[in-house]
């Protein structure tokens, strides 16, 4: 199968899936989408095999850095007074980072950019981790957001070190008074939560022969795609099901929104449907009613693929009409009770989360993503360890509600 055949077949399958969705055949549509995923995996394997074959079929030789065309858009000189953010986002630093990762020689301008950024971010020349360029890092997190939309939607801050935040515990509304009536004390109670930072790290490996075949741009795209899948799984899990600072593993994790809702006294924001059964229209109405009205704008439903197509898509109202409807204005996405449905693989089977992620959850990126290369001579491979520090917690539980299957 060549690339054209792959693209033609994928397009045909996509059209078939859309027709099944339009016809309300959820199960058949899910099966068709699985065919698309299988086709994508097959093509990835073919592309990888072709690259490996080209490498094997070619006489190994040292790569001459002088043959690589430097892609430098900004020719201005970098000095110690140049803002680090400007250098971090520059083409010079992106090239410098990629060449360093690939074991290639840096030119003078790239060396300047490399030193300025890493000394500023690490504050020590003894630290061997290398800060990922802003454009590359943004690309990785964007891919993570596509795979795990809840991670993409939460409020993010970028404060180095420990961050103290105020978390709403309970609240009361303001009241109207006449001139002679004394104002009551409010019943708002707040508590502080500390985002210390949890370490997230994942390895990817690249064979030396494949590495020699790659251009700088190919290498960057490869790293972005692989690291998004590796880091994304941990990051997506962290904001939904992270166990918090006292995780059983002994390694601190962000406090996921589901974890926080289930830990709340009396679990007022959690409801269940019959074990072994399916959620009903009334269950969905109750779920929606649990989210405080001030969080309606931006409210969305998050669930995994299996739950969306085998649970939510089958719910009907009192007149037997599906409440799972397509929204043409949202690129073919679906809504339920007005809430946009987002497929998030970090959610467990049977879980349906209604959440205003932007105003109900905060994630602090304590340390920008960095990467450490490590050569393994006996394997003839280079391992790249992606590393970031982040921590998160709910701002208020009233911005969320969880519907899940009851335990047996």
Least confident of 29-38, 113-122, 195-204, 350-359: 113-122
Question: Which pLDDT does position 15 carry in this prediction?
Answer: 82
250 close to 240: Cβ distance less than 8 angstroms? no
Question: Which pLDDT does position 122 carry in this prediction?
Answer: 58
Phi-psi region of 44 (alpha: psi -120 to 50; beta: other; left: phi over 0): alpha
- Phi and psi at residue 284, to the nearest 5°: -70, -40
Measured CA to CA, the distance from residue 342 to residue 298 in angstroms comes to 12
Measured CA to CA, the distance from residue 317 to residue 282 in angstroms comes to 8
Say yes or no to pLDDT of 253 above 70: yes
Say yes or no to pLDDT of 148 above 80: yes
Say yes or no to pLDDT of 343 above 50: yes
**Mean pLDDT calculated for residue range 251-257:** 92
Question: 132-173+186-408 has which fold?
Answer: phage-related protein like fold (3.90.1690)
DSSP designation for 363? E
Give me the residue label for tokens 């994928």: 10
Residues 72-119 have pLDDT tens digits of 334 456 665 677 778 888 888 898 899 888 888 888 888 888 888 887
Question: Which pLDDT does position 202 carry in this prediction?
Answer: 86
Task: Name beta bridge partners: 204.
Answer: 384
Residues 28-86 have pLDDT tens digits of 888 888 888 888 778 667 766 665 555 455 444 333 333 333 333 344 566 656 777 78
38 close to 60: Cβ distance less than 8 angstroms? no
86 close to 198: Cβ distance less than 8 angstroms? no
If you write DSSP's letter for every residue of 313-339 in order, what string do you get?
GG-B-TTS-BSEEE-GGGTT-EEETTE
CA–CA–CA angle 396, 397, 399 (5° rounding): 80
Q: What percent of the chain clears pLDDT 90, i.e. is strictly above it?
A: 35
* Confidence grade of residue 158 (pLDDT, cut at 50, 70, 90): confident
Question: Which pLDDT does position 280 carry in this prediction?
Answer: 96
The residues spanned by each domain of the chain are 3-56, 65-131, 132-173+186-408
């Amino acid at each position: 199968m060549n690339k054209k055949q792959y693209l033609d077949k994928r397009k045909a399958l996509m059209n078939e899936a859309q027709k099944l969705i339009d016809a309300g055949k959820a199960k058949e549509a899910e099966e068709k989408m699985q065919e698309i995923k299988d086709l994508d995996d097959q093509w990835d394997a073919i592309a990888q095999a072709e690259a490996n074959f080209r490498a094997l079929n070619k006489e190994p030789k040292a790569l001459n850095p002088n043959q690589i065309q430097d892609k430098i858009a900004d020719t201005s000189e970098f000095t110690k007074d140049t803002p680090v953010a400007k250098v971090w986002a520059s083409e010079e630093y992106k090239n410098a980072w990629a060449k360093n990762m690939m074991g290639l020689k840096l030119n003078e301008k790239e060396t300047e950019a490399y030193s300025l950024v890493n000394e500023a971010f690490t504050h020590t020349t003894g630290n061997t981790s290398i800060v990922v360029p802003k454009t590359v890092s943004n690309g990785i997190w964007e891919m993570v957001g596509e795979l795990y939309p809840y991670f993409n939607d939460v409020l993010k801050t970028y404060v180095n070190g420990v961050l103290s935040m105020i978390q709403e515990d309970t609240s009361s509304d303001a009241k109207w008074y006449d001139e002679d009536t004394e104002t009551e004390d409010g019943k708002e109670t707040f508590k502080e939560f500390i985002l210390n930072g949890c370490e997230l790290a994942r390895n990817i490996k690249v064979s030396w022969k494949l590495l020699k075949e790659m251009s700088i741009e190919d290498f960057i795209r490869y790293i972005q795609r692989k690291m998004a899948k590796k880091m994304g799984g941990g990051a997506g899990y962290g904001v939904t099901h992270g166990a918090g600072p006292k995780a059983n593993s002994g390694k601190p994790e962000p406090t996921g929104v589901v974890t926080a809702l289930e830990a709340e006294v009396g679990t007022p924001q959690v409801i269940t449907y019959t074990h072994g059964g399916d959620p009903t229209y009334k269950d969905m109405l109750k779920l929606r009613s649990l989210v405080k009205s001030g969080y309606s704008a931006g409210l969305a439903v998050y669930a995994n693929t299996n739950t969306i197509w085998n649970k939510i898509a089958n719910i009907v109202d009192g007149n037997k009409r599906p409440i799972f409807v397509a929204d043409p204005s949202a690129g073919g996405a679906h809504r339920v009770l007005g809430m946009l449905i987002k497929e998030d693989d970090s959610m467990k089977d049977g879980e349906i989360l209604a959440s205003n992620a932007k105003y109900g959850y905060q994630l602090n990126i304590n340390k920008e993503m960095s990467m450490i290369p490590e050569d393994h001579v006996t394997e003839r491979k280079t391992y790249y360890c992606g590393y970031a520090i982040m921590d998160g917690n709910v701002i208020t539980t009233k911005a969320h509600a969880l519907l899940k299957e009851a335990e047996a």
